[in-house]
Every structure is written in structure tokens, then in C-alpha cells.
């Protein structure tokens, strides 16, 4: 194995920061950190990801129905920041040795690590999902599904899991492929976390698109041509799209940092690993505790966590103590095809407020939200402080007893 240190030799006083993952949170951390250390010759920033193209996870349901999206280049965005991009799969992390293996034949060493490898669809819990269902983990996954749907010509598509991703996917497929019978199947009512009136709007919108809703049941097995449910029923399916929950890579647990029951790195208030303070964890890969509990993974929380980690690293490099991270949720936008949507405004703990938007107004709002990350990264290159504004959540996010 080639064990050369591609991030530097460690000689002198150079502080090597390695960012693993160029998703929403990882890119926020990388751009913010590079911008804030651009004039420092003693700090290097290296970003590692398996793909040069940025994955717009909030648009994968569009890609899955054959809609062409802009190709956003991670290396091009990083141009001018001083950060370096390394393309490759992260195959192992050794937090004690401060080393990361790439593609099993390269090794990068770091002084500070930002772990932002995110999450993927949980295809391991239910038998048959791994072998017989599609998932939306990457642009490539979505494109493969789009090709399959285009070839069907008719038949049934079962979307397993009726959270926001399931709702958006079912609506998009039904709108783009009216020749297909789309079944949205899950344990809860679609939009269960929304205000009752917003939830009713979602159900009505899905009905107008011809989506058949089956709530109150679990999928216990996926087999060729059908899914089996906990109530003993079998639902015919020419295609199964799995959106029923997420999981993180076991790599974090194997790396050494303390993790929670879901394998997420447990962080202190500054987003450092509680066991390895030279490791910061952000986005879906981190178990970040706020006053209302542990944050769930979304873009709206992932990007602020990436920015905060970068700011914390800069403070530490200056000999200052990082400040605790606080974040309050503020909305849940859900698209219902290209011409309809619902936007649920929330309390900081993500519980629904009475206020929500629907129809064209919600569509425009949702598009602004979906398009904002890339422009935000570009703005942070020139004005890094512009990325440090988000709702702190007030009393909802205050952890009793201070930062852990």
C-alpha cells in the first residue's frame, strides 16, 4: 500500500485539516474554513469525496424521474480558496493514528479531522431491500432508477417509507409517469409531523396525482415483484423505491471515536468528538445534542454545523476556546411535484407551528431553499461571515448545565 501523506509531511508548523465528505455539511465546513484561513500559510485544507460532482440530495427525486439538473463541480467551487480536492473513496479512518485510507492504496494524515460522510438509505434492516429495491443515495442511483422507470411503460411502483423523501418521490413519479400506479406505503400517515391542516393538504395533493396511500403498516420483506407487509398482505411491485429511514457508515465506530446507538459520532458543544477532540463531526454523521434532544439530519441543520465546526477550528488555532453550537429548526419544505408543495413552519424543536404555505407560493419558497446551498458557498468564499447566520433556537436549544 502506498502510505504517502498526500496532505503534507507534517514537517514544520503546518496544521493539516482534512474534511471527509463534500455534501452539504462538509462543503460548508471546507469553504468556511478555507476562506477564514486563506492568508495563513501554516494551515492546509484538504477535501476528500468519491465524486467531483456535488450531490444535490434535495433534488434526487427529480433526477430519479429523468429531469436534468445543473452539474455542480466541487473542485471548481474550491478554486481560489486554497483548499485542495482529493477524489477517492474513504475506506478506513484511524482516529488514534490520525490517518485516513483512500481507495485502500493511499493514506492521508491530519492534525484536525472534519468527519462529514453523512448517511445513506437504511437498506439493511428489512430483508430483500438491498437486493430488490432502489435507493436515492447519489446522483448515479437516481439516474439508474430514472432509466428503469422510463422503460416500464406501465405497472406498479411502491415507495417504501412515507417521510418527506417518500412523499416527494411518490409525487414526482406520479406526475412524470401518469401511466404508472404509484403506492406510498409506510407506518405513519404521510406528513405525520406537519400541522393537521398541512397534513390534509399533502394527502389531498397526493390523491390528485393518483398516488395510492397505505398507512399504518410496515414492510417486512421485499422480494422480486412484490413487498410483504406486517399485516400479512403482499403488494405487487414492478419497482420498489426504498426511503424508509437512514443509517450512517460503520466506519465512524471502527475509527475509534465514541458513537451513539446509531453509529453517529457523539460531539461536545463545539462539535468535537467527546473522545477525540481533534475530530469534529457534522451533519448526519454527528449526534449533536440540543436542548430539545439530538438533532436529526437535514440540510438546514447540516450546513450550520459545518460552518460552526470551521469557526471552532479557527478559534482553536488562535488559542481561543470554541463556542457551543446552537441550532433551531424553522421549516419543513416538501415538494408535491413541480407545481405544488407545502412548507410547514416549525418551532426550534421541529414541532409544527400553525403557519404553513401551499401551492405556488410554497413551490417558489421551496425552490429558493433548494437552490440556496450552492450560492451560499459561493458567497462564503468572499464573505465567510455571511454563512454564520442561522436561528439559534432560544430556550429550545439551551442544554441544561452548559455544553457537554
- pLDDT digits 0-9 by tens, 179-207: 999 999 999 999 999 999 999 999 999 99
Please enumerate in sequence order all residues whose Cβ is within 8 A of that of 123, keeping only pairs 6 or more positions apart, or say none. 129, 130, 133, 135, 242
- pLDDT bracket for residue 13 (50, 70, 90): confident
Question: Rounded mean pLDDT of 382-388?
Answer: 91
Grid coordinates standing for 125? 434492516
pLDDT the model gives residue 12 = 53
Closest to 333 measured CA to CA, from 320, 345, 350:
345
Q: What mean pLDDT is predicted for residues 70-74?
A: 95
pLDDT greater than 70 at residue 155: yes
Average pLDDT over residues 8-14: 56
Please state the φ and ψ torsions of residue 310, each to the nearest 5 degrees. -60, -45
Evaluate whether 101 touches 224 at the Cβ level (below 8 Å).
no
For residue 28, which of 388, 397, 332, 365 has the smallest C-alpha distance?
Answer: 388
Across 246-268, average pLDDT: 93
Q: How far is residue 365's CA from residue 342's CA, in Å, rounded to a whole number?
A: 9
Cα angle for residues 183, 215, 247 (degrees, 5° grid): 85
Contacts of 136 (CB under 8 A, 6+ apart): 57, 60, 61, 64, 121, 142, 145, 165, 169, 241, 243
Nearest to 171 by CA among 206, 134, 198, 136: 206
* Mean predicted confidence (pLDDT) in 110-134: 96
C-alpha cell at 353: 407551528
> What phi-psi label fits residue 250: left (phi over 0), alpha (psi between -120 and 50 degrees) or beta?
alpha
pLDDT value, residue 30: 97
Centroid of chain to Cα 202: 23
**pLDDT at position 403, please?**
42
Q: Quote the pLDDT of residue 1.
A: 37
Q: Report how far apart, in Å, the C-alpha atoms of 137 and of each of 54, 56, 239, 243 are.
A: 12, 10, 17, 10
Q: Comparing 400 with 368, which gets the higher pLDDT?
A: 368
**Residue 4 pLDDT more than 50?**
no
What average pLDDT does the structure give for the chain? 93
Amino acid at each position: 500500500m502506498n502510505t504517502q501523506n498526500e496532505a503534507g509531511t507534517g514537517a514544520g508548523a503546518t496544521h493539516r485539516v482534512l474534511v471527509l465528505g463534500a455534501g452539504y455539511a462538509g462543503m460548508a465546513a471546507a469553504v468556511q474554513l478555507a476562506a477564514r484561513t486563506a492568508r495563513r500559510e501554516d494551515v492546509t485544507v484538504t477535501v476528500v469525496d468519491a465524486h467531483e460532482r456535488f450531490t444535490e440530495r434535495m433534488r434526487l427525486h427529480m433526477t430519479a424521474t429523468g429531469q436534468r439538473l445543473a452539474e455542480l463541480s466541487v473542485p471548481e467551487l474550491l478554486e481560489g480558496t486554497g483548499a485542495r480536492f482529493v477524489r477517492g473513496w474513504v475506506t478506513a479512518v484511524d482516529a488514534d493514528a490520525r490517518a485516513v485510507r483512500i481507495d485502500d492504496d493511499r493514506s492521508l494524515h491530519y492534525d484536525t479531522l472534519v468527519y462529514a460522510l453523512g448517511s445513506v438509505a437504511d437498506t439493511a434492516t428489512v430483508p430483500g431491500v438491498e437486493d430488490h429495491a432502489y435507493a436515492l443515495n447519489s446522483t448515479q442511483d437516481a439516474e439508474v432508477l430514472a432509466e428503469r422507470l422510463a422503460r416500464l411503460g406501465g405497472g406498479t411502483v411502491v415507495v417504501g417509507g412515507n417521510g418527506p423523501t417518500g412523499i416527494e418521490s411518490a409525487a414526482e413519479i406520479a406526475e412524470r409517469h401518469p401511466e404508472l400506479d404509484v403506492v406510498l406505503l409506510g407506518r405513519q400517515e404521510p406528513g405525520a409531523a406537519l400541522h393537521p391542516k398541512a397534513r390534509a393538504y399533502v394527502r389531498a395533493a397526493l390523491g390528485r396525482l393518483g398516488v395510492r396511500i397505505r398507512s399504518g403498516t410496515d414492510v417486512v420483506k421485499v422480494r422480486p415483484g412484490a413487498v410483504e407487509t406486517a399485516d400479512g398482505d403482499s403488494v405487487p411491485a414492478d419497482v420498489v423505491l426504498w426511503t424508509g429511514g437512514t443509517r450512517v457508515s460503520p466506519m465512524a465506530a471502527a475509527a475509534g471515536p465514541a458513537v451513539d446507538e446509531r453509529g453517529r459520532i457523539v460531539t461536545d458543544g463545539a462539535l468535537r468528538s467527546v473522545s477525540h477532540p481533534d475530530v469534529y463531526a457534522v451533519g448526519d454523521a454527528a449526534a449533536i445534542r440540543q436542548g430539545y434532544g439530538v438533532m436529526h439530519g437535514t440540510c438546514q441543520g447540516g450546513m450550520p454545523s459545518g460552518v460552526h465546526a470551521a469557526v471552532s477550528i479557527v478559534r482553536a488555532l488562535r488559542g481561543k476556546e470554541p463556542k457551543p453550537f446552537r441550532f433551531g429548526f424553522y421549516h419543513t419544505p416538501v415538494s408535491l411535484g413541480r407545481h405544488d408543495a407545502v412548507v410547514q413552519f416549525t418551532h426550534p424543536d421541529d414541532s409544527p407551528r400553525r403557519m404553513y404555505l401551499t401551492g405556488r407560493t410554497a413551490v417558489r419558497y421551496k425552490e429558493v431553499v433548494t437552490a440556496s446551498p450552492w450560492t451560499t458557498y459561493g458567497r462564503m468564499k468572499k464573505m465567510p461571515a455571511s454563512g454564520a447566520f442561522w436561528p439559534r433556537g432560544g430556550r429550545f436549544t439551551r442544554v441544561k448545565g452548559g455544553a457537554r
